[in-house]
Structure 1
Amino acid sequence: MARNPSHRRDRTPKRQNTPGEDALSRAVASGDAPLGIEGLDDAAWLEVIHKMDEVYAQLVEDEIALEEKNAQLEQSQQFILGLLSSMSDVLAACNERGEIEETNAALCELLGQPDSVLRGSRFEHWLADEASAAALRETVRAGAPMRDAGIELNLRSRDGVAVPVDFSCTPRGGPRGRRVGYLLVGRPMGELKRAYRQLREAHEALKQAQQQLLHSEKMAALGRLVAGVAHELNNPISFVLGNVHVLKRYAERLTRFVDASAQPATPAERARLRETLRIDSILTDLPSLIDGTIEGAQRTADIVIALRRFSAVDREERVAVDLNDVVERAIQWIRKGAGPDFDVHWTRGAPMLVRGNPGQLLQVLMNLIQNACDAATGAQRERPELWIELACREGKVRVTIRDNGPGIADEHLPHLFEPFFTTKPPGRGTGLGLSISYGIVERHEGRLTARNASDGGAVFTVEIPQLSAEA
């Protein structure tokens, strides 16, 4: 502890001359100093007195420094005692003979003994069984290398019950690296097991919540997919249904005409019935009705086949996929779903083949297109617009999706693909769409990036290794 120099001078004791020194000083001053010792003159006596003053001053300085060191030592001791008393882990510092030299409040509370009883006793005395004592002796045996070791010992609690404690045994080194004892620091296994159980329960709860959120995101993607499919299936099914109703009426008329033709009648009566039932117009209309019904059924079958091809979201098999087909299907199903109407600037080009999972790639592009539409709609644009480009560069197929929305805030760009991060209002998104899309693209050995366009809007880019025609 530092002291004020001026304060130090004030505290320095004043040295009082002895009567002989005072007399000698007066004699020296008057010139009548006796020569008490032969061969010593007055100057020598003054030098002796001066040296005595210097030695006394040095003793005073040493005393002040010693007081400062004692104060610092006391502060250090209080600090160490505070640490030992606040530790929740039990601690015992033992010498080479296994006698306890230092302990803490946690160990005293566990054993139910005061510090005065524990100090000087052998640590083995407080173990609950011989197996623990043997394990401790094996760990700290003489000549063993100095290294940290983990050991589980059973301590005898205040109630006489064995309490398992997980100890860390650390050697205590003395001068010249010589081992002078060991330090035992441990925590009761009950607390560890309880902490591990709580950690495991929290981990399971987190996994369950994550699975629920992933399921919610999949259901949201499936909802958009189903809405688009239902709208696309509505037209051919309605067309087929209408044709079938017409064919049913035609069949009824044809049945009446055939039944009437089987009865005896004159040619004039048959001609009149034929005209009444409009058999000729039916026969003329039948081929187009049948062709239209077949066409509608075929269109429905094509949609179902495409749905089967693109709906395997969780299957991991990889096939050759033309990203033109994926982009086209994503646009159709998003546009025909429940989302807002938007304009897409995209032209199908040459085949862009990659090896991947069609359903997973469709999920990625549907998510990016849906997000672009939502961003442009939220910006109060007159009409949302998207620009989609496919290109091949350096052995990679690149899909670029740009919108006319407000763009991405600079503080949001670093967190865009983090799970549960979303800028949408509550109830509009789980924050997992982009994270899942990022993982899908990464599993396809590709990369998904985001940036802001120079003229406004956000730009998302998907890059996936191209599949050569030979492959």
Structure 2
Amino acid sequence: MPPRRTERPRAAPHGVDDATWLDVIQKMDEVYSQLVQDEVELEKKNEELEQSQQFIFSILSAMSDVLLVCTEKGEIEETNAALCELVGRSDADLRGTSLLALLADAGSIARAHAVLMNASPTRRGETIELNLFAADGSSVPVDANCTPRATPSGRRVGTVFVARPTAELRRAYQELRSAHEALKQTQQQLLHSEKMASLGRLVAGVAHELNNPISFVLGNVHALSRYSDKLRTYMAAVHEDKDPQALLELRTRLRIEHLLDDLPSLIEGTLEGAQRTAAIVNGLKRFSAMDPEERKRVDLNDVAERAILWVSKGTSQPLKVDWQPASPCLVEGSLGQLQQVVMNLIQNAVDAASTAQPPRAPHLWIHARAGATNNLLSVRDNGPGIAPELLSRIFDPFFTTKPVGKGTGLGLSISYGIIEQHGGTLRVRNHPEGGAEFTVELPAVNGAS
């Protein structure tokens, strides 16, 4: 039986005690724990990186615009699904090939080559037109935005092309143009509707204005008819060769001398009445017709005076107007549209005073002021003014402070748009002395033709 070996405890290396060994083992545990923690963190970073890549890939796949990323030499590095579908080639097939190989004509190649060779492109890039080979071999025009791609240090490493087929842009432009035309037509219809509403409020006054000259003309025509009968009787006697004494008696009885003296004034008065009637009718036709927006020199004084006349004729109650012209007060614009604006402001001022509590007789202050660059026309009433919280909404479409059924809410909105189209402004405020004040400001023009 072999002799039994007895193991003796391993002696620590010379010069190293137990405390030192414990420190070494503790450090090794800390290093191991740190390695495990770093590995967990690395796995987390890899997962986040994969999620970011998936997110970027989903965006590239969802883009309807064509995306192409190439090196500074024009070699393709990245594409998206829209480009692959357009040219009929896979992403793997396109990578590493030249951008110029996708272009269908020499002009497109020259433009793309110029972008790639541009040594100092702007950060916003530039837009060029290119023709790409489609999957069926045809040429597809696109508008491409070319943006330089650079490293964090600023060195250019390539170019990013984002393009959209021109056919889509043309279709979108056509839709936008159609919508714009429809909007313009609707605006003209609203303008005409509001104009006719304003015209309807003036019918009674205009009818009274027309009644005066027409009654005058009718009276003169009846007088002329009687004079015609007397002249016919006298001329018949003359043709019957009656003796002079009988003719003299007949002439005296029919008052032929008075008739002949009165004829010129009757004819003149009839013509004047007819001309006044024609002027009123022409004014109404000009106001109510669809305005072709013909621009010409317009005197704001004439516009205001005509508006004051028409509104006063259409108002059943007495209207006091302090009118202060400023001749000349010439602007460039559409007479019919400017007439509509001023009439609307004056009519609103009359309504504001009439609906005050307690009701009061309308009193308006209308002033024209001529300036070196701008001409102004202000309309102020003696109404209650406008509540401060409503001043910012007064020009909004369909907003009105009038009772239900008394206003469309379009008059001031349309007036604001008309003045804006004429290059001017329409402002409103509560006057320090009471009432609301609207001011039209338009660019002035000199009196030279």
| TM-score normalised by L of structure 1 | 0.70
DSSP-derived class of the 2:159 partner: strand
Q: Is the 8 A contact 2:326 2:369 kept in 1?
A: no
Q: Find 1:136's aligned residue among 109, 112, 129.
A: 112
Cα offset for 1:88?
0.9
Q: How far does the alpha carbon of each residue in 1:3-39 deviate from its partner, in whole angstroms, 9 at most, with x for none?
A: xxxxxxxxxxxxxxxxxxxxxxxxxxxxx96433111
Q: Work out whether 1:185 is the aligned partner of 2:165.
A: no
> What is the RMSD computed on CA atoms of the aligned residues?
4.6
Cα distance change on mapping 1:232 and 1:440 into 2, 3 Å: farther
In the alignment, what sits opposite 1:346? 321
SS in 2 for 1:240: helix
Q: Does residue 434 of structure 2 align to residue 460 of structure 1?
A: no
Q: Are positions 1:170 and 2:147 aligned together?
A: yes
The answer on whether the counterparts of 1:352 and 1:392 sit within 8 Å (CA) in structure 2 is: yes
- Equivalent AA in structure 2 for residue 343 of structure 1: P
Number of the residue aligned with 1:14: none
Task: Tell me the equivalent position of 2:70.
Answer: 94
Give runs of aligned pairs for residues 190-339 of structure 1, distance below 5 A: 190-214=167-191, 231-257=208-234, 259-260=236-237, 264=242, 279=254, 291=265, 294-295=268-269, 297-298=271-272, 301=275, 314=294, 316-317=296-297, 323=301, 327-336=304-313, 339=314
- Partner SS state of residue 353, structure 1: coil
1:240 touches 1:293 (CA, 8 Å); kept in 2?
no
Distance 2:149 2:422 in 1: 55
Give SS of 1:197's match: helix
Aligned residue for 1:401? 380
Question: Do the aligned partners of residues 251 and 303 (structure 1) sit closer, same or farther apart at CA in structure 2, a change above 3 Å counting?
Answer: closer
Equivalent residue for 2:19?
A: 43
Following TM superposition, by how much is the alpha carbon of 1:169 offset from its aligned partner in structure 2, in angstroms?
2.6
CA contact (8 A) 1:92 1:184 kept: yes
The DSSP-based 3-state class of the residue aligned with 2:296 is coil
Deviation at 1:235, TM superposition (A): 1.2
CA shift digits 1:128-166 (9 cap, x unpaired):
34554454333223x733442333333222222222232
Shift of 1:268: 9.3
Describe the SS at the equivalent of 2:140. Answer: strand
Deviation at 1:69, TM superposition (A): 1.5
82, 87, 95: which one pairs with 2:58? 82
Aligned partner letter, 2:68: A
Equivalence map 1:423-438=2 (5 Å): 423=400, 431=411, 433-435=414-416, 438=419
Among 366, 383, 391, the alignment partner of 1:413 is 391
Find the aligned partners of 1:440 and 1:387 in 2 and give their Cα distance. Answer: 30
Cα distance change of structure 1 residues 56 and 249 upon mapping to structure 2, 3 Å threshold: same
Which of 31, 46, 57 is residue 55 of structure 1 equivalent to? 31
Q: Residue 328 of structure 2: SS of its match in structure 1?
A: strand
The Cα of 1:195 is off from its aligned counterpart by 1.9
Question: Aligned residue for 1:449?
Answer: 427
Q: Which residue identity lines up with residue 166 of structure 1 in the other structure?
A: D
Compared with structure 1, are the counterparts of its residues 465 and 346 closer, same or farther at alpha carbon in structure 2 (3 Å cutoff)? farther
How far apart in 2 are the matches of 1:284 and 1:137?
Answer: 101
Higher-Rg member (1/2): 1
Partners of 2:45 and 2:319 lie apart in 1 by 82
CA shift in 2, pair 1:409/1:391, >3 Å: closer
TM-superposed CA distance for 1:344, in Å, is 0.9
Q: Quick check: 1:352–1:466 contact (8 Å CA) kept in 2?
A: no
Residue 362 (structure 2) aligned to one of 377, 386, 411: 386
Contact conserved, 1:441 with 1:462, CA < 8 A, in 2? no
Deviation at 1:329, TM superposition (A): 3.5
Alignment check: 8 A CA contact 2:353 2:381 kept? no
- C-alpha distance in structure 2 between counterparts of 1:274 and 1:383, whole Å: 62
Instruction: Say whether the 8 Å CA contact 2:127–2:145 is kept in structure 1.
Output: yes
CA distance in 2, matches of 1:115, 1:126: 13
* CA distance, structure 1, for counterparts of residue 65 and residue 441 of structure 2: 54
Q: C-alpha offsets along residues 398-435 of structure 1, whole Å, 9 cap, x if unaligned? A: 6433164x7556565335446x5554869957546422
Identity %: 47
Matching of residue 367 in structure 1 with residue 344 in structure 2: yes
Rounded to whole Å, the distance in 1 between the matches of 2:198 and 2:116 is 63
Superposed CA deviations along residues 288-315 of structure 1, whole A, max 9, x for unmatched, are 7864664464455467679889969945
Partners of 1:95 and 1:269 in 2: CA distance: 119
Structure 1 residues 191 and 363, CA gap change in structure 2 (3 angstroms): closer
- Pair 1:354–1:283, CA change in 2 (3 A): same
Q: Distance in 2 between matches of 1:289 and 1:65?
A: 116
* Cα distance, 1:87 vs structure 2: 1.0
Q: Against the structure 1 CA distance between its residues 439 and 128, is the aligned structure 2 distance closer, same or farther, given a 3 Å change threshold?
A: closer
Shift in Å, 1:227: 7.5
Separation in 2, partners of 1:154, 1:59: 56
